[in-house]
Structure 1
Amino acid sequence: MTTPDRICVGAIAGAFGVKGEVRLKSFCSDPEAIADYAPLYSEDGSRSFTLTLTRPVTGGLGARLGGVETKEQADALKGVTLWADKDKLPSLPDDEFYHADLIGLDVVDTGGERLGTVRAVHNYGAGDILEIFGPGRRHALLLPFTKACVPTVDLTAGRIVADPPEDLK
């Protein structure tokens, strides 16, 4: 179980070479910044890794993880997501949010009527979409995460004020 004070910053795509190096996919806006956030943890927090970037490789970065010295050990980590302590990550501007901070927030419309809770944040290439699920809903409400549809995000209050188009309600 992930802890709310950690954010997923990358994943291990498999072994690279025969000496324990891994191919790493970084989810950071500056891919190489992932090394600045080490030690990194497995999703359940049971393992931690030091990280040294070695070179750019097709589809990601080559890296060495502390304690991983063979191709077999590297292969065994394929698919493991890497999590960093949130306090090591850069602060965001007021109008940007980590997805993990949005998940679980209550969502109300501009009249104060509860729409549900953010269950996930998706991005299929055209911008972020909030998946909102709540009582009385047979299907999740998929709301574009734009200033027009989501005028207010109040992390302190744990609430989002949304103004969904009529056809989405």
Structure 2
Amino acid sequence: MTFYKEIVAASLALIRTAQAADLPRPAHTFASYPVWDRLIRTAVRHAAQLTDGFFADPVPQAVRAVAETEEVIDLHALLAGLMEAFGGEAFGSVDVCMLIEDPANRRLGALMAGATQRPDRLSPKSLGRYLAQYVDRPSGHLVLRARRGSKALSFFVERVPQEAPESA
């Protein structure tokens, strides 16, 4: 506790100099923690510059770790199956229901059952609700997008450009 005031003063000085350093915006931010992202993470990135990378920004590594989770891998397989089936064209939940009932599309049916955690046949409305939760969640180089139609959402799978990895 002897050095408490000195540690706090040094931390505040680092944050102040980091804010003055005018660093470029990072590729990834924590939207749920904007104050932390702006203050603390900027200070860590500034310290990394001052120490030739001794300190490192943890966010890019965390983003890569999340991208490799099992759920994201399963979502990517589902999106790849939908991309293969519909070729990037718009489709509705009714189209997906009809497609997975075809015995030739058992793999897509199994992927959909895994995504919904329900082995039984779903109504198009229920399937649309499950698909809606995956909208705008990138998985690898694919992302599910949606447009509001007159009665229901129409979906399409889009390729997203891969970001170049950040250098330390």
Task: Give yes or no for TM over 0.5.
Answer: no
TM value normalised by structure 2:
0.26
- Asked which structure has the greater CA Rg, the reply is 2
Between structures 1 and 2, the one with greater helix share: 2
Between structures 1 and 2, the one with greater strand share: 1
